[in-house]
């Protein structure tokens, strides 16, 4: 039986497929770009001129952040024409770093900023954001989008759902506590990395003030759909009870209060390490595939475009949740049938399906 309790068991689709299947994630980063540019504008000229460093944590294949990073480099160049610029791309060791390299160096579908700018040094790291990624006091801007909802560990299986949004009682409390610890660990490492006066721009999945979260805004709840299909497979005897529970996603969506607490309370180690909350707001970015369906009206096309975006981030968890005693082909067939079932649901009754993004956009500064 496999039980990958650690977030290093997750992988995004490789071969550059991730960015192509996640145009919505790019829209989220594009929406955060003004915050990054403003943060760059707030840095001391002396610090930028001495050498500017930006990190993109949980970058996947770097395709979704390429425009934002290009604009950040333009902004630094406008302030400090000769400054050396280092861009640290980090993700976990199992990430598809070949696709990332292809995207950064212009070998994939995107034009590289390296063709336009001199003295820009991209560096790649396989260090988790649960550890310190760069040396102390060397970072000007720490950026991350849509990554820090992955917990450092799966504290327990959820017995009635696939995600903490559907958990209850002690199971929910265990997830909440883990997220509490993890968020503080992430911030404490960033506090060490940042130069005094440096900034974090962190765009994270959230539960907003109205209880909305990814795939649960005004239509059908996407996580309930994930759960229902696995429950149906369980009822049909296609998977075991243990496999069903193993489908638990090691994720948690913080509320604005949960994100803000360690940055506002003077007794918190994060606050004492010098981090302060400059800004936090929640925003919704509409599911691009559902929006497109509203225009073209072709349900089969909607399903064909929408299902891959879901697969790109949860297929590895679900595949690893299946009993490793089963032959690989059997496990793969169950996974095909799972997404096939979801695709049929969307094709047959498309109204209300979609994965609207609900994020907290957070800007944090390190006191000088």
Ligand X SMILES: C[S@@+](CC[C@H](N)C(=O)[O-])C[C@H]1O[C@@H](n2cnc3c(N)ncnc32)[C@H](O)[C@@H]1O
Alpha-carbon distance of 230 to 2, in angstroms, equals 17
Report the residue number, 205 or 233, with the smaller CB distance to ligand X: 205
| Beta carbon of residue 252, minimum distance to ligand X (angstroms, whole number) | 12
Which of residues 53, 70, 86, 146 is near ligand X by CB under 6 A? 146
Residue closer to ligand X by CB (options 113, 271) is: 113
The reply on whether position 216 binds ligand X by CB under 6 A is no
- With beta carbons less than 8 A apart as the criterion, state whether 65 and 143 touch: yes
Burial class (CB in 10 A: 0-12, 13-18, 19+), 284: middle
User: Which run of H or E residues covers position 185?
Assistant: helix 169-193
Interface with ligand X (CB under 6 A), residue from 183, 244, 313, 339? 313
- Range 343-362, binding ligand X (CB under 6 A): none
When asked if residue 162 is in the footprint of ligand X (CB under 6 A), the reply is no
Q: Which of residues 72-131 bind ligand X (CB under 6 A)?
A: 91-92, 95, 128-130
Host H or E run for residue 86: strand 85-90
64: contact with ligand X by CB under 6 A: yes
Q: How far is the CB of 305 from ligand X (least distance, A)?
A: 17
Which of 9, 21, 22, 342 lies at the binding interface for ligand X (CB under 6 A)?
22
Phi then psi for 56, rounded to 5 degrees? -120, 100
Distance, in Å, from the CA atom of 356 to the CA atom of 217, rounded to the nearest integer, reads 7
In the complex, the smallest distance separating the C-beta of residue 193 from ligand X, rounded to whole angstroms, is: 14
Q: Is 39 in the site for ligand X (CB under 6 A)?
A: no
- What count of residues does the chain have? 368
CA dihedral 146, 316, 307, 310 (to 10 degrees): -20
- Using the rule CB under 6 A, is 7 a contact of ligand X? yes
Report, in Å, the least distance between residue 7 CB and ligand X: 4
**Which of 205, 207, 145 lies closest to 172 in space, CA to CA?**
207
Pick the piece of the chain touching ligand X (CB under 6 A) from 81-89, 139-147, 301-309, 327-335. 139-147
Beta carbons of 87 and 54 less than 8 angstroms apart: yes
Residues that bind ligand X (CB under 6 A): 7, 10, 12, 22, 25, 29, 57-60, 64, 91-92, 95, 128-130, 145-147, 150, 313
């Amino acid at each position: 039986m496999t039980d990958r309790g650690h977030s290093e068991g997750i992988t995004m689709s490789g071969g550059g497929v991730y960015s192509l299947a996640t145009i919505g994630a790019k829209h989220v980063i594009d929406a955060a770009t003004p915050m990054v540019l403003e943060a760059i504008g707030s840095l001391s000229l002396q610090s930028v001129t001495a050498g500017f460093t930006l990190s993109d944590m949980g970058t996947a294949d770097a395709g979704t952040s390429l425009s934002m990073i290009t604009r950040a480099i333009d902004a630094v160049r406008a302030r400090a024409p000769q400054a050396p610029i280092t861009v640290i791309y980090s993700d976990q060791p199992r990430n598809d770093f070949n696709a990332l390299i292809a995207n950064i160096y212009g070998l994939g579908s995107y034009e590289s900023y390296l063709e336009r700018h001199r003295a820009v040094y991209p560096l790649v790291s396989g260090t988790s954001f649960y550890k310190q990624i760069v040396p102390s006091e060397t970072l000007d801007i720490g950026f991350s989008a849509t990554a820090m909802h992955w917990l450092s560990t799966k504290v327990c299986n959820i017995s009635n759902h696939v995600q903490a949004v559907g958990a209850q009682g002690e199971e929910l409390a265990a997830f909440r506590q883990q997220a509490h610890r993890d968020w503080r660990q992430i911030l404490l490492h960033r506090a060490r990395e940042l130069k005094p006066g440096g900034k974090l721009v962190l765009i994270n999945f959230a539960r907003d003030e109205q209880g909305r979260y990814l795939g649960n805004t005004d239509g059908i709840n996407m996580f309930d759909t994930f759960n229902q299909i696995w429950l149906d497979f369980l009822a049909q005897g296609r998977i075991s009870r243990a496999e069903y529970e193993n489908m638990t996603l090691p994720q948690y969506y913080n509320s604005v209060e949960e994100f803000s607490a360690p940055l506002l309370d003077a007794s918190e180690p994060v606050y004492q390490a010098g981090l302060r909350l400059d800004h936090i707001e929640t925003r919704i970015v509409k599911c691009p595939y559902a929006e497109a369906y509203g225009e073209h009206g072709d349900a089969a096309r909607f399903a064909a475009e929408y299902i891959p975006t879901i697969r790109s981030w949860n297929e590895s968890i679900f595949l690893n949740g299946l009993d490793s005693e089963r032959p690989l082909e059997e496990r793969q067939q169950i996974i095909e049938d799972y997404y096939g079932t979801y695709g049929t649901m969307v094709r047959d009754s498309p109204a209300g399906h979609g994965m609207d993004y609900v994020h907290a956009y957070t800007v944090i500064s390190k006191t000088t």
